[in-house]
Amino acid sequence: MTPSQKIDTPLFHSVGSIADSMNRQCYVVGGYVRDLFLCRHSKDIDFVTVGSGIEVAEAVAKHLGRGARCNVFKNFGTAQVKFRDTELEFVGARRESYSHDSRKPVVEDGTLDDDLSRRDFTINAMAMSVNRDNFGELIDPYDGVGDLDRQLIRTPLDPDITFSDDPLRMMRAIRFATQLQFDIHPETFAAIRRNASRIEIITAERIKDELYKIMGASRPSIGWRLLLDSGLLAIILPELARMKGIDVVDGRGHKDNFNHTMLVLDAVAAASDKVLLRWAALFHDIGKPVTKHYDPARGWTFHNHNFVGAKMVKNIFRRMKFPLGADLAYVSKLVELHMRPIALVEDEVTDSAVRRLANYAEEDLGDLMILARADITSRDEARKARYLANFDLVEEKFRATHEKDVERNRKNPVDGLEIMELFGLPQSPEVGYFAKNLKQAVKDCVIEDTREAAFAYLLKLAEEKGLRPLFDPFERERQRAAETDEKDTPLND
């Protein structure tokens, strides 16, 4: 099915008929047309009319009936019609001019050619008519179809003017290159480098939106490498740009932490579509440039880079207007903990060590393990395989320890009534103190999950409080065991 056949539907014909009745030229434009050629589905449809787009939108909403709702934005000269699960946006064709210190354009009425020429990239500067006389006709003055075939991001006009007028388009170029895995035309990319400093007039919120779209791509490293090579990264996230490079002292160098981070990021993206986990991967070593130190005996060290990095994440989130609260807590926690699973692999894996990490990570333990696995990027395949196999053992230990905890949490080895009887206590907060501490000691593997160990622990707690037992609990346990044995012994004939 050709792109023109894909718009051969009642909705597009209705819009065209209404435009015809108003003697207006009307075209579906931009990203929707691009996605028709890429065979990608979109629920957002942009229309350009020669004349008032608001008037056409209001007429379309009236025609569609009770299920349609029209929102008008007079300041922008646009209107949006929401119909079922589709959004139709209408705008009059226009031309724009910019001042040097602002990305807010001066807008005037224009022709379709004016409108298409002001668009960011050739692949977004295509239109298809919905009028009856030329329904489905493609208008492609800048060879957008050819650039789709060539998998190329290119500006319709002079890229220096395009990016100077609206510097956010530099971010959009990199975002489209990442999402579509297209190349950026050499002249276009050179213009991004020349105009990188113009990004400073763009608000953090707008930059953040583009970065999140880059992070949602299947290979987000494409975008981050382009940001670095273009010079934009040093302005937007200098902390990340500083990770690039290798310092050598006495012939000893460390790995390029930026390249390592890109490998980790793509590995996490392949394992999970959770964008926050991808941000944790991007920032997991952000503290290394700050903590980098050369020791003649040990070589390069990055002591406490995880703790330093977690603090840096908080500053970055605030500066970049990223979501705070739960999102910030999640990312900073994973950055702080990302070394812990590796430490478990290198040391003896004990129940208590596993339990401590599980308690710290809580419900994010699974994500932490995805990050830890991705963090193994050694080119020594045997070493890498050994680490990953050890991670399998650690995760099995997590499961086994969790099952033990579930069993332990069902009931204390010694219950509250027995504590009251042992020390002659009434029901009181003091009994709760003994019961709570006993439960925690069992959970943390401080003591074994047996009645004997529990009584020994309770007697120790009581001694610290100057409290004596009314009887010897161990003697009573032996008596009960003997009585049980006697009952279970068959009588001699």
Task: Write the pLDDT tens digit of every residue in 196-247.
Answer: 999 999 999 999 999 999 999 999 999 999 999 999 999 999 999 999 988 8
Q: Are residues 19 and 93 in the same domain?
A: yes
pLDDT computed for residue 492 by the predictor: 42
Q: Are 56 and 26 in contact (CB under 8 A)?
A: yes
pLDDT computed for residue 406 by the predictor: 60
**For 150-199, how does the pLDDT look when each residue is reduced to its tens digit (9 = 90+)?**
999 999 999 999 999 899 999 999 999 999 999 999 999 999 999 999 99
Determine the Cα–Cα distance for residues 478 and 451; give it in Å rounded to an integer: 12
Task: From 348, 377, 407, give the residue that closes a domain.
Answer: 407
pLDDT computed for residue 392 by the predictor: 80
Q: Are residues 78 and 113 in the same domain?
A: yes
Residues of the chain predicted below pLDDT 50: 491-493
Q: Are residues 392 and 419 in the same domain?
A: no
Task: Find the CATH number of the domain harbouring 41.
Answer: 3.30.460.10
Angle at 488 between CA 485 and CA 489, to 5 degrees: 85
pLDDT computed for residue 226 by the predictor: 98
Residue 468 falls inside a structural domain: yes
Determine the Cα–Cα distance for residues 159 and 165; give it in Å rounded to an integer: 10
Q: Are residues 368 and 480 in the same domain?
A: no
Q: Are residues 430 and 458 in the same domain?
A: yes
Q: Are residues 281 and 331 in the same domain?
A: yes
Residue 224 falls inside a structural domain: no
Q: Are residues 23 and 86 in the same domain?
A: yes
pLDDT computed for residue 490 by the predictor: 52
- Give the pTM: 0.78
Residue 196 falls inside a structural domain: no
Q: Residue 418 sits in which domain range?
A: 412-488
pLDDT computed for residue 197 by the predictor: 96
Beta strand extents in 65-105 (DSSP E only) = 68-73, 78-83, 86-92, 94-97
pLDDT computed for residue 493 by the predictor: 37
pLDDT computed for residue 105 by the predictor: 62
> What backbone phi and psi angles, to 5 degrees, belong to 455?
-65, -40
Q: Are residues 483 and 427 in the same domain?
A: yes
Residue 380 falls inside a structural domain: yes
pLDDT computed for residue 276 by the predictor: 97
Q: How many domains does the chain have?
A: 3
